[in-house]
Structure 1
Amino acid sequence: MGSQKFAVLLCADDSDYVKKIYGGYFGVFVRMLEEEGETWDMFRVSNGQFPEDEKVGEYDGFVITGSCNDAHGNDLWICKLLNLLKKLNGMKKKVLGICFGHQILGRALGGKIGRASSGWDIGITNINLQPSKIFSSLKMPASLSIIECHRDEVWELPPKAEVMARSNKTGIEMFRYGDHFMGIQGHPEYTKDILFNLIDRLLHRDLIEESFAEEAKSKLEANEPDKEARKKLCIGFLKGRL
């Protein structure tokens, strides 16, 4: 068997901080998911850079990142990404969607997505795992804490999708569709310093209030996300071991 090949579909521009410390979001994802002997490529889909049609089949799996854009928007690149996801669904290619990626996967499958009625969820959130054979095979606990940073959510999924986790704030924190699509609303790839920096950027852009930012930061200092369990889940799913 040849070495496995994966692609990260980047849906956001790198912040200066993430670029300097981690070599961009691509570096953050590769650090979490890469194992020896694999090839990882990057496509900046939000800048219109997509894998060529005839090369899509060469990849064993794809990761779709978070984004500042709305997954319910109709920007040209978002429409193009939806078409690619429909094609990958037909090919049964493994796709792991994170945050915006989770929402766009839900949309590509015919689900409904939009603004969360409960507003922003920023910080470390406790999510409750639903009974699933995937979790039992990984010996996962009944709940996990994960870094979140979103104000949109998946409202509704097609009947064939399995909702894998919920939280007090978000009804669909994680789902899978068949054995090939999985969406995670939180950010298993983030570290606390990345979120700290992101809170400052959101504040600077007037997307959140200062009091909200301060509260989110103080809560962050008191909690730790369950990184290893999340990493195990993402790697196991993407590489067909679950």
Structure 2
Amino acid sequence: MNVGILICDHVSDRFRSISGDFPDMFRSLFARAASDVRLRFYDLAGGEEPDSLNECDVWLATGARASVYDPLPIATRLERLVVGIYEGGHRYFGICFGHQMIAQALGGRVERSTRGWGVGVHVAKVVDEAAWMRPPARRLRLLMTHQDQIEKLPPGGRTLASSEHCPIWMLSVDDHMVGVQGHPEFTPAFAGALLTERRDDIGTAVADVAQATLHDATDEALLADWIIEFARAE
């Protein structure tokens, strides 16, 4: 099974000694996957696109520092691909920026959150269980770093998990497009480095609370299992 990972941004050079670049993080995330799972990376941020959407069994789009509504090449490029993936009935899993692009491309709405930054480990409640969520869980805990979030579902969308800060924390559209606001690929060390760099923008009080959660238990291994189950679903 081929998992096509659309790399929408790159880790700054000064942080690469922590957990590598995003391909390294996703290799670690899926390290426990079955032997038939093959990761194929596409540097979408650098202009590399798949020749055909049939090249992979599932497409996964990563996070990015850009906003999905910004008039930037990466946003335009991913939006066009997401529309093609949706119209072709292919499977897609979006993370953060990739999650928000589902709404942006398919008729929902993404905005800067009035709740401020979502940072640190957040807990979301599963409110609508899909068949591929195996093993099942009532809650998910992931590292977060975002200002934008989905505020309106696209047509055919449903919320799968919700948090107090981010009501549309995980969604699906027509059962073959799924996204999550959290970052299963992040390590506490990398999240901490981002938090330190953005502290002035985030605000001391919010940053201090987030800092205290960085080593809380998280469910990235479970979500990795879910992504593979989703990719295999009929």
Normalising by the residue count of structure 2, what TM-score does the alignment of the two structures yield?
0.90
The whole-number CA distance in structure 1 between the counterparts of 2:57 and 2:130 is: 22
Q: Distance in 1 between matches of 2:101 and 2:15?
A: 23
How far apart, CA to CA, are the structure 2 residues paired with 1:163 and 1:113?
A: 14
**Segment of structure 1 superposing worse, 68-77 or 11-20:** 11-20
- What residue number does 2:48 align with? 49
Contact map agreement 1:17 1:197 (CA 8 A) in 2: no
Give the aligned partner of residue 63 of structure 2: 66
Superposition RMSD in Å: 2.1
**1:77-226 pair list within 5 angstroms:** 77-134=74-131, 138-203=134-199, 206-221=200-215, 223-226=216-219
Q: Gaps spanning 5+ residues in structure 1: where?
A: none
Which residue of the other structure, out of 196, 212, 225, is the alignment partner of 1:232? 225
Contact 1:111–1:156 (CA<8 Å) still a contact in 2?
Answer: yes
Query: SS of the counterpart of 2:202?
Result: coil
1:17–1:130 Cα change, 3 Å:
farther
Q: Offset at 1:113?
A: 0.5
The answer to whether the Cα contact below 8 Å between 2:96 and 2:182 also exists between their aligned partners in 1 is yes
Unmatched segments (≥5 aa) in structure 2: none
Structure 1 distance, partners of 2:190, 2:61, is: 18
**What secondary structure, in the 3-state scheme, does the structure 1 residue paired with 2:150 have?**
strand
Give the percent of matched residue pairs that are identical in Structure 1 and Structure 2.
Answer: 25
- Partner SS state of residue 232, structure 2: coil
SS of equivalent residue, structure 1 residue 57:
coil
Q: Which 10-residue stretch deviates more, 67-76 or 207-216?
A: 207-216
Task: Give the C-alpha shift of residue 226 in structure 1.
Answer: 2.2
Aligned pairs, how many? 232
TM-score (structure 1 length as normaliser): 0.87
Structure 1's consecutive aligned runs of 4 or more residues displaced over 6 angstroms after TM superposition are none
Q: 1:214: Cα distance to partner?
A: 3.0
